[in-house]
Chains A and B, each alone.
Chain A
């Protein structure tokens, strides 16, 4: 099946300017050569520490920021270089759900107007027809259509995220990019929103690019998982394969940090030392060598490439 989204060698570099003349004095390699594809009805989980470039990937894919280079292929068209006007029809295919349910809804618009807006922007429906569509969307995400006249501040965090999801669904997209959609919510509410997303996927065949730092959440919702470190994907595999047999030392360390709800279980934690290096000066060789417990001499000079270590399981490490 043709993928709903195919990203090839995506790069986003931010120039750092300083001084009176605003000269470029450095570059932040926020995303540095990321490739992946998402099949219809599939969820790709993208995980990594804060600042590893997960959100930049999402924002670049949605063209909220311009990619420095690389291809973003939707429906057979590379949208990376398209003008705003040419991009509009593709906006209907992919929508986004944001992290903060408080700032992602206009406080001066009623919930109904917020969900109705995409319909008006794309001339899909108006008047009564739009009202009915909005009511249907409300029901779909588990809100009462009677709440359409309410304003965002009258909803709880979970309900706001449902409004956000309804807005994303309004145009019947094939892909939803969800940038940490549950990390601002209480744990019990997180489960509800995750279940809602999974129900919607089952009913409508939606594909998700699901970005999170919570590995348990990602394991629950994803089919495939990509692990990012300093702007690059270091491991990419089926969920089961990645969680059972992590190949990259970084993935290993991340997984060992996931809390297990069993006090008797003694685990060997592989706590990483040190901080993430600055994405302005990524270390030479393997970017992870500064914190890797197994690092050897060649890791410091030679950058590893993604290699297929098992069918469908790729990782970028010299030692596997």
Chain B
């Protein structure tokens, strides 16, 4: 380190120089378009995942504009039509257009999976952070409740909850979110436990920072990466759970198009005679789960400053 910097004090001209350096350092960070282009180039798979999800989101938003048949209207003469012509993806046993149902189904799948994952993660973070940071008896009690929740398989718990609440979109979201709490609570708690001992937490305590502020400013940001990865995995299983619930009549009530129910209804009977009834909803589910996973992996890398270089 050049001796001169230390020796030469804090003169006016130096202040100007530092001001300029400050602006230059800030200028790079303040160009979102350039940063986005850089990110896309660096994470092509993540970009593909984002693209897939964007297509689904756009389809869900503009569902009315990109379809020409009512997804709910039955049409007996046109039942079980082969894909092509008027029915791009064919039609089901009641003559409903598969393409329209897939497009409108994206709304339900996105609403349920995003809703349930967000709700589950927010509750899980709150529980995990409090449990890990406060420790002691509180931690012990909370963790035993989490044990109980986790002992039941996701589907079984969601089944019981939605049976108790009754079938509706909101209740399905709640029913899927609750079994997701333990996983994110565990991840956050174990991270919190490890971070609580880190020297930078002690440094914050030495500064006289409040526990609450330490938890929010220092611990939470360091647990974001595993949470994102977990949330994207949960996004996929939320879609599948919704499908299973709907199949059992406990998810989204009947006429509304749900990919899961479309798939489950036809899997046994029509797999051989009309495979398009299975292939298209199945492909939609797989593609969406695949997209969330690609995006999740890229987000994990992007959110970790050590990967930024």
List residues of chain A with CB under 8 Å of any chain B CB: 59, 62, 64, 84, 87-88, 91-92, 95-96, 98-100, 103-109, 117-118, 121-122, 131-132, 135-136, 139-140, 142, 144-149, 151, 153, 164, 167, 171, 192, 196, 199
Contacts and interface: CB of A to CB of B under 8 A. Distances in A.
Contacts of A107: 222, 305-306
Interface in B130-180: none
Contacts of B205: 64
A141 B209 CA distance: 24
A109 to B, nearest CB: 8
A276 B249 CA distance: 70
A132 B24 contact: no
Contacts of B25: 146-149
Contacts of B13: none
B22 A105 contact: no
Contacts of B203: 96, 98, 104-105, 164, 167
Interface string B197-226: 011101111111100010001100110000
Given A104-B200, A107-B222, A122-B208, A142 B305 contact: no
Interface string B87-112: 00000000000000000000000000
Contact of B208 (A87, A100, A106, A148): A87
Given A96-B203, A108-B222, A149-B25, A91 B305 contact: no
A149 B305 CA distance: 12
Interface string B19-45: 001101110110000000000000000
Nearest to B20: A146
Contacts, number: 99
A63 to B, nearest CB: 8
13 contacts: A95-B207, A98-B199, A103-B200, A105-B200, A139-B10, A142-B6, A149-B29, A151-B305, A153-B305, A153-B306, A167-B203, A192-B1, A196-B1
B207 to A, nearest CB: 5
Nearest to B209: A121
B24 to A, nearest CB: 7
A249 to B, nearest CB: 35
Which of A91, A106, A109 gathers the greatest number of chain B CB atoms within 10 Å? A106
A72 B199 CA distance: 22
Contacts of A98: 199, 202-203
B10 A96 contact: no
Nearest to B200: A106
Given A103-B199, A108-B222, A146 B305 contact: no
Contacts of B21: 144-146
Nearest to B197: A103
Contacts of B200: 103-106
Contact of B26 (A108, A136, A149): A149
Contact of B206 (A91, A142, A144, A148): A91
A146 B20 CA distance: 9
Given A108-B305, A139-B10, A64 B202 contact: yes
A122 B210 CA distance: 11
Nearest to B199: A104
Contacts of B209: 117, 121
A199 B200 CA distance: 25
Given A121-B209, A144-B21, 12 more contacts: A91-B207, A92-B208, A98-B199, A98-B203, A100-B199, A103-B199, A107-B222, A122-B208, A132-B15, A139-B18, A142-B1, A151-B305
A121 B15 contact: no
B305 A117 contact: no
Given A108-B305, A146-B22, A196 B6 contact: yes
B199 A148 contact: no
A62 B224 CA distance: 30
B97 to A, nearest CB: 49
B22 A139 contact: no
B256 interface: no
Contact of A135 (B22, B222, B308): B22
A105 B2 CA distance: 24
Contacts of A149: 25-26, 28-29
A197 B274 CA distance: 79
Nearest to B206: A96
B224 to A, nearest CB: 8
Contact of B18 (A59, A108, A135): A135
Nearest to B6: A142
A136 B10 contact: yes
Nearest to B205: A64
B55 interface: no
